[in-house]
Amino acid sequence: MPDLDLLIHDTTVLTMNADFDLLPHHDVLVKGQFITAVTPTVFPKPEARKLLDGRGLMLMPGLINAHTHVGMSFFKGTAAAADLFEWLNWTGRQQKKMGPQDAYWSVMLAATEMIRAGVTTFADMYFNQIATAESIAEAGLRACLGEGIMEPFGDAGREAVDAQLDGAVRFIEECQGMADGRISAWLAPHSLYACSERTIARVLEIAGAFKAPIHTHLSETVKEVEDSIAQYGRRPPERMEELGILEHRLLAAHCVHLSPSDIEILDRLTVGVVHCPGSNLKLQSGIAPLPQLAGRKMAVALGTDGNGSEDTLDIFKAVYLASVLHPWERKHRPAHTALAMATCEGARALNLEDEIGTVEAGKKADLIMVDLGHHPRTTPLNNPLYALAFTARSDDVVTTIVDGKIIMEDRVIKSLDEAEVLRQAQAGANLIFGGDSL
């Protein structure tokens, strides 16, 4: 029997290493979960249990969606432009109609969309994450899942949030490291404005006891910042520092409204900021100061947010927006920076940079193959890296590999029944929304 499990033969490798090396006519060798070598193509081919022909394709690290809510994938296309709080109230009412079966098919629908879009790892904040972890293990993806914690809106009281905190402990105990280590268990207090100081204190106790990282929303809207100053005399990052949150590993989504001193407070190796341009545009939250955030100690990743506010989980769209939306200077190399945010910097934000994010020997084989050569939108192919940033779309991904396992090959998903997922998702959404939208 051959020693190699997988050979990707004669492909162009975009390594996403520090030099953005692009290696035409290379082979990538995989054994078990790991890349064992990236070498110039040799003939005769090394023997492997599985061969993928890489000619005419680009091989790159799987994309990372560092902020989403996969339990909300039924919500795509249900809201036109709305402000965040109006939208939160509307979606909250609809979410109450969802049962466990809807939650299951919602997660599987998001998994299907991400596999097709070349997203191999995502960071998620939602409720009932034990069930999500089981579904994602089945779908074959890698995920950092955080059990959502928020003070219930309206008149529900303390008991509800205490139950959420107990659920968060149970989730970490049951799911940390499951699916051969593909699932990481995090804590996900929704935001400072949706959690009391008592709740945050308990979250930090749990984070300390389990060494669990924290995923939250931060400084998303002007209202959030103004309310924080009015109520506490502090901007949200100042409160985070004061409450001790920054002593833990933190993933902070949005960070649209940051002052220069906020950026200094957040600029540490244990902080990841997630830029979600599509969601911020749709919910009219504003545009994050990305050129001031990139290239610092803090990692800056890309996210879509949930399907309710961004509608798609297409990280290529986020790469495009991050490349063109900001007042970049040429020296910033916006296309390179945005692609790094979707790969190696995204991995650093999730504390996974030793495992994923580049195509190098010793890393986990989380890889995608992209076809940039057979569509008028991507032809002619002049600068492959610019093509990925400016003309590529999720549909251009042909093969998706996670942990050395091929979960989509030649655009056919192998880890789940796509037709059944689409059928169930449509049937579930019909019952919940009944044609209603915001």
**Interface with Zn ion (CB under 5 A):** 305
Which residue has the CB atom at the shortest distance from Zn ion? Answer: 305
What are the E-state strand segments in 173-249?
Answer: 183-189, 214-218
Query: Are residues 322 and 389 in contact, defined by beta-carbon separation less than 8 angstroms?
Result: no
Q: Facing residues of 406 across strands?
A: 401
Nearest to 312 by CA among 68, 126, 60, 61: 68
Q: Facing residues of 147 across strands?
A: 126, 187
CB nearer to Zn ion: pick between 25 and 223: 223
Q: How far is the CB of 190 from Zn ion (least distance, A)?
A: 8
CB nearer to Zn ion: pick between 190 and 202: 190
Angle at 331 between CA 330 and CA 332, to 5 degrees: 90
Q: How far is the CB of 433 from Zn ion (least distance, A)?
A: 20
Q: How far is the CB of 217 from Zn ion (least distance, A)?
A: 6
Q: How far is the CB of 71 from Zn ion (least distance, A)?
A: 11
Question: Tokens 């402990």 — which residue?
Answer: 169
User: Alpha-carbon distance 142 to 393, whole Å?
Assistant: 21
Q: How far is the CB of 94 from Zn ion (least distance, A)?
A: 16
CB nearer to Zn ion: pick between 147 and 305: 305
Give the dihedral sign, CA 341/344/347/351: negative
Query: Are residues 115 and 141 in contact, defined by beta-carbon separation less than 8 angstroms?
Result: yes
Instruction: Residue 159: count other Cβ atoms within 10 Å of its Cβ.
Output: 9
CB nearer to Zn ion: pick between 140 and 272: 272
CB nearer to Zn ion: pick between 150 and 398: 150
Q: How far is the CB of 308 from Zn ion (least distance, A)?
A: 9
CB nearer to Zn ion: pick between 193 and 328: 193
Query: Are residues 201 and 65 in contact, defined by beta-carbon separation less than 8 angstroms?
Result: no
